[in-house]
Chains A and B, each alone.
Chain A
Amino acid sequence: MIRVGNLHKRFGPQHVLRGLSFEVATGEILVIIGRSGGGKSVLLKHLTGLLRPDSGQVLVDGTDITRLRRHALDRIRERYGVVFQGGALFDSMSVFDNVAFPLREKTRLSGVEIRERVEERLGQVGLSGVGHKNPAEISGGMRKRVAIARALVTEPEVMFFDEPTTGLDPILVNTIHHLIQDLHRKLRFTAVMVSHEIPEIFQITNRVAMLHEGMIVETGTPEAIQGSSNPIVRQFIRGEIEGGPDPREELAGPRPRASSGAQP
């Protein structure tokens, strides 16, 4: 169980996270949606302990990771798997070595066992036979799948996906979504995923949280989010561009007639 409470983060004058709170139940997939530059990746960096908040809590099974020192935080991170937006594959290593790296460094498995485990994961992401290639020699979609294989190779309890399908064609997007769904069924990890793939992402998630201007403005099942009356959520899901009513003003209530009438 992950519980985020009243999280605040500033970068200079920019207040990126403004008292953000939500929960992720064990075994569920929570997808965080929201506009680009809205703080979704910053939020994931707080959940993985890469950033420390100005105030607020990130509780992982009751332990506030924002207060932990490096070694204690590493004990929590050993249960994590993270898929970065760009894959973050080690470009000096082959695909096989990238996936094998966490096993070589964090376990006492023999070379044969590591090979078996890596081949199994590469097979699960549909990349059998490409282990000898370097990350630079494979496509963007393949790199994302290698990143997923590497994150899953240690069988983590909690997975974080930072826009795992951004920049991919629709077929690859669905392939990766189904892959995550399949692996989730098999491995039963808890997952927090940042994604822009609407409505495709709704097919694989249990719950959706909408992040807007540093706050979670709504959480719910995919159906509830799709039927939301919240103007911010509606505008985002429908992909409406500027020109309509400002969702913030609509949230605040009806505008005075004189003010709206003054528009050219």
Chain B
Amino acid sequence: MSEPGASPLPLPLRLVEGLGAQVLDVVQSLGRFGRFLFEALVYIFVPPFKVGRVVERIHFIGVRSLTIVILTGTFTGMVLGLQTSLTLARFGSEAFVGPAVALGLIRELGPVLCALIVTGRAGSALTAEIGIMKISEQIDALTVMALNPRRYLIVPPLVAGFIAFPLMTAIFDVVGILGGYLVTVELLGLSAGTYFGEMQTFVDIGDILTGFWKSLVFGIVVTWVCTYKGYYCGHGAEGVARATTQAVVLSSVLILVWDYFMGSVLP
């Protein structure tokens, strides 16, 4: 930055200066973002452990999202079953509807859609809650009590996300497969034996593990982004609102980006 009172820089140099300042700002933010996760991961293994708080966060992130996850999972499976049946019927391959629904849900749609839904319901609430604690000095109050706020506010949601996301994804997959069953078997007349029998043939443990690893990573990404945005939110109600929007958008983008990379790396 140019010194106050110094003669103004020529325009090209000012542009370079502005660009440099922005690059530094981005690098600094990324460093803080990474360090935030690293510190939280370290605190997971350092006592005292806040088990009660983790259980409460699992309830907040997982149990309270259950209705919406079951609802969306069912309809996703129903849509998937309907469209797959109609498409495969053109090739006379209706027998593969079951595996198509199951693989689509277990490998891709289950982890991704479940993570997006939980981001919208619990992630945004997490950011808003921590953001309000920040602007109302509750985080400062924890700090001056010689208590590390990250132990109370960041570590429990992170651990809860780690536990709840795979479970929620498993529920999403199961109800999705049952939704597909409702449409293809009960509505379109495919035999139940064909629907489930072919599923057993084509879906193996590798597919299930792919979905599991994805949901695990999404659990960390969502809680990491949402707690970070709340912890470093701006001033006032506007700052909290902006942080909440950014948390949902960034989480959603990262979920889709990570899904691609994990999908291309995992078997």
Interface residues of A, Cβ cutoff 8 Å to B: 13, 45, 48-50, 70, 74-75, 77-78, 80, 82, 84-86, 88-91, 101-102, 105-106
Considering the chains assembled together, what is the distance between the CA atoms of A45 and B144 in angstroms? 10
B144 partner residues in chain A, CB cutoff 8 A? 48-50, 77, 80, 82
Q: Which A-chain residue is minimally distant from B129 (CB atoms)?
A: A92
Interface centre among B137, B144, B148 (most CB of A within 10 A): B144
Q: Are B146 and A88 in contact (CB under 8 A)?
A: no
**Which one, A75, A89, A102, contacts B145 given CB within 8 A?**
A102
Q: Are B145 and A105 in contact (CB under 8 A)?
A: yes
Q: Are A88 and B137 in contact (CB under 8 A)?
A: yes
B143 interface residue (CB < 8 Å to A): yes
Considering the chains assembled together, what is the distance between the CA atoms of A50 and B137 in angstroms? 11
Q: Which 3 A-B pairs have the closest CB atoms?
A: A74-B146, A88-B137, A88-B141
Q: Are B138 and A50 in contact (CB under 8 A)?
A: no
Q: Are A105 and B147 in contact (CB under 8 A)?
A: yes
Q: Are B146 and A84 in contact (CB under 8 A)?
A: no
Chosen A-B contacts, 29 in total, with CB atoms closer than 8 Å, are A45-B140, A48-B144, A49-B143, A49-B144, A50-B140, A50-B144, A75-B146, A77-B143, A77-B144, A80-B146, A82-B141, A84-B137, A84-B140, A84-B141, A86-B137, A88-B136, A88-B137, A88-B138, A88-B140, A90-B133, A90-B141, A91-B132, A91-B136, A91-B138, A101-B145, A102-B145, A105-B147, A106-B146, A106-B147
Interface residues of B in 68-100 (CB under 8 A from A): none
A102 partner residues in chain B, CB cutoff 8 A? 145
A90 partner residues in chain B, CB cutoff 8 A? 133, 138, 141
Interface centre among A84, A86, A88, A91 (most CB of B within 10 A): A88
Interface centre among B132, B146, B148 (most CB of A within 10 A): B146
